[in-house]
A and B are shown apart, each in its own frame.
Chain A
């Protein structure tokens, strides 16, 4: 709808401005608080003019929270999760769209239904599986009586164990599956003309070749959009990393924020906490800014 009257324009701009303010104000307070020393930050009300202690605070936060190591972990974690999601969902969607096998639609809906089961809902069973990734197989062996059979025949007790606690694998693997990504990719594949697949077939390329040579490069905008969203999502994960990593060597930046928040009876140095926040929120911001050009294209349009 195109409406152009001065009053309507003004109303639009005011609404937009209020929205912008609502979003930016907390961010502004973080920035300002990070620039003050401990005394100024605790005065009521806190002055809304930036102070001069920004770099001292950043340095303090960096040291205290061991951010060098944690940011590296975070990058590794978020980057691998996002890349894994792109790879897995592109392949899952490829199977669903391009192959006719029994139960194809059932598979698709099963994947789709997992949208309704976010990590927070299934955190206990997921933790149990992560604690021993082979537990489900052990259960199958136990229930079917195979382990009983093996014990009686060979005297060996079957005990499958593969613990993922306190490892990068455990941190990353349970988060890689994504219904959203699979769905996004499925929709993209459906827009690719059938003739393209047929032409590739006539040119002698098999399924894998078609995927690698044609489908994957064609999905670049899609890929970037998904990667960006998923990188930010993974970067902001809190509950799962907190649960699965007790060893500080595997800790990530976001969970580390907790160590910067002043305790009840400790020194109320919110300036350092805010400086730490500032550091930690920077990477996803940078990724979004760098990727946004392709990101928008991937979400709104298909390849010309």
Chain B
């Protein structure tokens, strides 16, 4: 049974539509990450679930109850804010226990639950401090404790980690994951950071321009991006995208020197059409210039990542990234060849941006143009 059901939800400010009809089912206990660039409507969607933002159209159901007209407190959600939103004049214990106090929980029980929560988030030693006397990570924990203590049906996270430094972010990420495993409550986590999204989510919801582009497990989203946008947005470095036409022999032609034969049987509908071809940086290799079957390129610049390197090459104006794990050395300006594994290419319609499945891999579901 689904814990949250979002049906055709829309949001418009005055005449500006920011969310255009979103449908989403979230199962009980699931950890959903909504991923998208800033301004894509992901936070608005979250705030509509929380009840902080009015719903302009559609329905939101939480736990089998239509919540469109319910106040936030009646929805059984707890929220962690980006800037934590701790009450500055209250101690950590008062911050965590405030919701219980409002709910009229007797003091003895309140103290006990606050203490238990503090233990979960590792704040036992700081219960008497004010938020101003805490570090960023500790404040983050208070914000989480405040959410946990109410034992809500749904946790909502609004980019909670983006105010932390990189190292702490990784640590808190692991902690949120652990917490979710332990509490098992349905969670919706909004972020623009794809690493966060990939590592945390049971399923990802990729949003763009107020619409859902794709819903799927992190592996699905990474390996089979449903749209050109998802292909470009998910993965670091971004997927290389080239626009070109398919010739009679089923070969993708970017320009005279750069042709990529498509794998599998030739789809007759594609012949002669312009199309977008995508290759992940990890699916390409660098070989010596002039190797048969390779695409000629020059080395533009090299990003050192420690574990590996990303070589950005130049296809006469188009940048093409190749991830390297070996120690081969290149200099800027070197002519090289780029070798692409035909099994690792993605095709997208140039008009709609939708994924085109090749007959060999998915014969039944080839999207028509």
Interface-side segment among B13-21, B70-78, B296-304: B70-78
Q: How far is the CA of A278 from the CA of B266 in the complex (A)?
A: 104
Question: Given A218-B89, A303-B88 in contact, is the A203-B102 Cβ separation under 8 Å?
Answer: yes
Min Cβ gap B90→A in Å is 8
User: B168 interface residue, CB < 8 Å from A?
Assistant: no
How many residues of chain B have a CB within 8 Å of chain A?
25
Residues in chain B near residue A196, CB distance under 8 A: 85, 87
Q: How far is the CA of A218 from the CA of B89 in the complex (A)?
A: 6
Contact with B along A293-304 (1 / 0, CB 8 A): 000000000011
Q: Given the complex, which residues of B lie within 8 Å of A198, measured CB to CB? A: 52, 79, 81, 85
User: B50 in the interface, Cβ–Cβ < 8 Å?
Assistant: yes
Q: Which residues of A contact B81 (CB under 8 A)?
A: 195, 198-199
CA distance A193 to B99 in the complex (A): 19
Q: Report which of B83, B88, B102, B103 forms a contact with A218, defined as CB distance below 8 A.
A: B88
Interface string of A111-144 (1 = CB under 8 A from B): 0000000000000000000000000000000000
Question: A202 contacts the other chain (Cβ, under 8 Å)?
Answer: yes
Determine whether A259 belongs to the interface, using a CB cutoff of 8 Å to chain B: no
Instruction: Flag if A204 contacts B103 (CB, 8 Å).
Output: yes
What CA separation (Å) do A209 and B87 show in the bound complex?
13
Pair B77/A195 contact, Cβ less than 8 Å? no
Q: Which of B77-106 contact A (CB under 8 A)?
A: 77-79, 81-89, 98-99, 102-103
Residues of B contacting A203 with CB < 8 Å? 73, 98-99, 102, 146, 150
What is the CA–CA distance of A171 and B46 in the complex, to the nearest angstrom? 53
> Given contacts A202-B79, A204-B103, are A214 and B87 in contact (CB under 8 A)?
yes
Residues of B within 8 A of A199 (CB): 79, 81, 85-87, 146
Interface flags, A169-206, vs B, CB<8A=1, else 0: 00000000000000000000000010110111111110
For the complex of A and B, 9 pairs with smallest distance between CB atoms: A195-B85, A204-B73, A203-B99, A199-B85, A204-B102, A205-B102, A195-B81, A202-B79, A201-B72
Sample (10) of A-B pairs whose CB atoms are under 8 Å apart: A193-B83, A195-B83, A195-B85, A201-B71, A204-B72, A204-B102, A204-B103, A213-B98, A213-B102, A217-B89
